[in-house]
């Protein structure tokens, strides 16, 4: 008996020790090649919407990234954790400037420069990369029928792509591979730019490039094969928490995305997206109201102030993110976000520091779907947790108070990816749908008991 306990103890320890892996997530670098430090407020960067005072070497809150910042972010990853199991990179390499100032060649050159930098700093690390809406010319116009930019990007990423990934990449910039060639583990790289409501080339299509059908099929096969799957992409479904009612997907595409995630949630171990330049997450629910999958939305490297009308404090500090995961089950164990305080960098030195560790900041055991639901419950119920989350949302740039209006926007964007549910959530001031669900069940139960004993 003691021997058996010892054996079990050793097995448990062994499993616990051997199974933690790490991957970096980096996104939205938005290089502005014309950024310059000058006294002329109109000549600092073409990506700014207002005159820029006091620009610094490492960038400015109104501008997209100078090369020095992008370089610094990739070297920071190398400094902080040099040997991740892999890296995910979810796109957007070019500056927020008008299409007329860009071209296929300009976009490809910038994708090429950033790719080269990552390849130089992490020569032996596998990178899974998705294209962002700014990695196309004209921006966001991703055709469903192939494009020179898909072909050339596949060439730039040749060292990262399995040969079998190239045909779907050339067709529509999506692909799937066994994660690190391991049995039972898979990653799916989506091109969700097809679903963006600003993409005029796909508005009338029901399934651009057949990606949804392909996605559904890949997940069905993964299920049959007993695999666990990570999903990455650039533009997330659902709503943007910083501006009420703002969403990116066309509604029919949003529905289809949710249907596929819900149908296959058993095999999905995590979804990782960018585009919002904000640190947040989303929860997907089963039809009977149970949390089944979490999407982690990583902050950007660019500090650029968004030009979305009506949005206050639209800047953020540059952020990068390290995930800890169980290499057997792909369960997410923790999320550690590092950042550059841009003001500090420009005044003193570019110091990348830990911003927060999810399990510490929100007192949860890990970053599984159950724990992310607990985080959401804490945000809904506790002002101090909400405030903390709010400050992290802009990577510790906007330290203002998250009031009741703000709370509603954030809670509803996290828990209601579906458009009509979101509208109801906003109407009800962000009261928790999960709690309503439980209350409903509880009432049914109580009624049933009353009925029985009367």
277: closest CA among 237, 244, 225, 235? 235
* Least gap, CB of 52 to ligand NAG (angstroms): 18
113: contact with ligand NAG by CB under 6 A? yes
Whether omega for the bond prior to residue 42 falls within 30 degrees of 0, making it cis, is: no
* Least gap, CB of 26 to Zn ion (angstroms): 12
- As a whole number of angstroms, the distance between CA 338 and CA 320 comes to 5
Residue 183, exposed/middle/buried by CB under 10 A (0-12, 13-18, 19+)? exposed
Show contacts with ligand NAG in window 385-404 (CB under 6 A): 396
Q: Is the dihedral of CA 153, 154, 159, 165 positive or negative?
A: positive
- Cβ proximity of 367 and 294 under 8 Å: yes
109: contact with ligand NAG by CB under 6 A? yes
Instruction: Decide which of ligand NAG, Zn ion, none touches 28; Cβ closer than 5 to 8 Å per partner kind.
Output: Zn ion
Comparison of 106 and 437: residue with beta carbon closer to ligand NAG? 106
Contact window for ligand NAG (CB under 6 A) among 140-148, 223-231, 268-276, 374-382: 140-148
49: contact with ligand NAG by CB under 6 A? no
Task: Transcribe 221-283 into DSSP letters.
Answer: HHHHTT-EEEEE-SS-SSB-TTSTT-B-B-HHHHHHHHHHHHHTTTTEEEEEE-SSSS-EEEE
Sequence-separated (6 or more) residues with CB below 8 Å from residue 268? 219, 228, 229, 230, 231, 261, 293
- As a whole number of angstroms, the distance between CA 258 and CA 265 comes to 10
Instruction: Decide which of ligand NAG, Zn ion, none touches 321; Cβ closer than 5 to 8 Å per partner kind.
Output: none
In the set 92, 177, 324, 416, which binds Zn ion (CB under 5 A)?
92
In the set 96, 126, 137, 147, which binds ligand NAG (CB under 6 A)?
147
Q: Give me 223's structure tokens.
A: 């299920």
Show contacts with Zn ion in window 241-300 (CB under 5 A): 275
170: contact with ligand NAG by CB under 6 A? yes
171: contact with Zn ion by CB under 5 A? no
In the set 37, 46, 56, 71, which binds ligand NAG (CB under 6 A)?
71
Q: Which residues bind ligand NAG (CB under 6 A)?
A: 67-68, 71-72, 75, 109, 112-113, 146-148, 151, 170, 341, 343-344, 347, 396
Q: Which residues bind Zn ion (CB under 5 A)?
A: 28, 92, 132-133, 275
């Amino acid at each position: 008996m003691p021997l058996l306990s010892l054996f079990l103890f050793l097995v448990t320890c062994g499993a616990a020790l051997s199974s933690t892996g790490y991957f970096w997530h980096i996104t939205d670098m938005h290089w502005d090649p014309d950024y310059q430090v000058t006294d002329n407020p109109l000549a600092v960067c073409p990506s700014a919407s207002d005159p820029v005072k006091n620009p610094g070497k490492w960038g400015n809150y109104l501008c997209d990234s100078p090369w020095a910042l992008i370089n610094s972010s990739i070297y920071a990853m190398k400094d902080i954790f040099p040997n991740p199991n892999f890296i995910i990179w979810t796109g957007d390499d070019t500056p927020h400037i008008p299409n007329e100032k860009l071209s296929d060649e300009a976009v490809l050159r910038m994708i090429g420069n950033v790719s080269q930098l990552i390849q130089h700093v992490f020569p032996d690390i596998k990178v899974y990369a998705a294209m962002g809406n700014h990695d196309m010319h004209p921006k966001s116009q991703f055709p469903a029928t192939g494009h020179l930019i898909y072909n050339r990007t596949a060439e730039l990423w040749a060292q990262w792509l399995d040969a079998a990934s190239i045909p779907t990449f050339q067709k529509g910039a999506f692909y799937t591979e066994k994660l690190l060639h391991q049995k039972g583990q898979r990653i799916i790289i989506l091109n969700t730019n097809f679903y963006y409501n600003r993409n005029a080339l796909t508005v009338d299509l029901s399934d651009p490039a057949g990606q949804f059908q392909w996605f559904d099929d890949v997940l069905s096969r993964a299920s049959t094969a007993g695999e666990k799957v990570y999903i990455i992409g650039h533009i997330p479904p659902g709503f943007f928490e910083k501006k009420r009612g703002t969403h990116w997907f066309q509604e029919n595409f949003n529905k289809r995305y949710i249907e596929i995630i819900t149908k296959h949630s058993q095999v999905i171990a995590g979804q990782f997206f960018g585009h919002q330049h904000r640190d947040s997450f989303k929860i997907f629910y089963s039809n009977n109201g149970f949390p089944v999958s979490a999407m982690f939305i990583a902050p950007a490297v660019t500090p650029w102030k968004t030009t979305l009308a009506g949005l206050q404090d639209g800047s953020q500090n540059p952020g990068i993110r390290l995930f800890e995961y169980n290499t057997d089950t792909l369960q997410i164990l923790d999320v550690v976000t590092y950042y550059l305080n841009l003001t500090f960098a420009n005044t003193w030195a570019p110091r990348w520091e830990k911003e927060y560790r999810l399990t510490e900041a929100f007192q949860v055991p890990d970053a599984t779907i159950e724990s992310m639901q607990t985080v959401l419950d804490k945000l809904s119920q506790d002002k101090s947790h909400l405030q903390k989350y709010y400050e992290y949302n802009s990577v510790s740039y906007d330290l203002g108070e998250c009031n009741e209006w703000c709370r509603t926007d954030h809670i509803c964007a996290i828990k209601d990816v579906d458009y009509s549910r979101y509208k109801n959530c906003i109407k009800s001031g962000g009261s928790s749908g999960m709690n309503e669900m439980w209350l409903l069940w509880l009432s049914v139960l109580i009624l049933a008991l009353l009925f029985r004993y009367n």
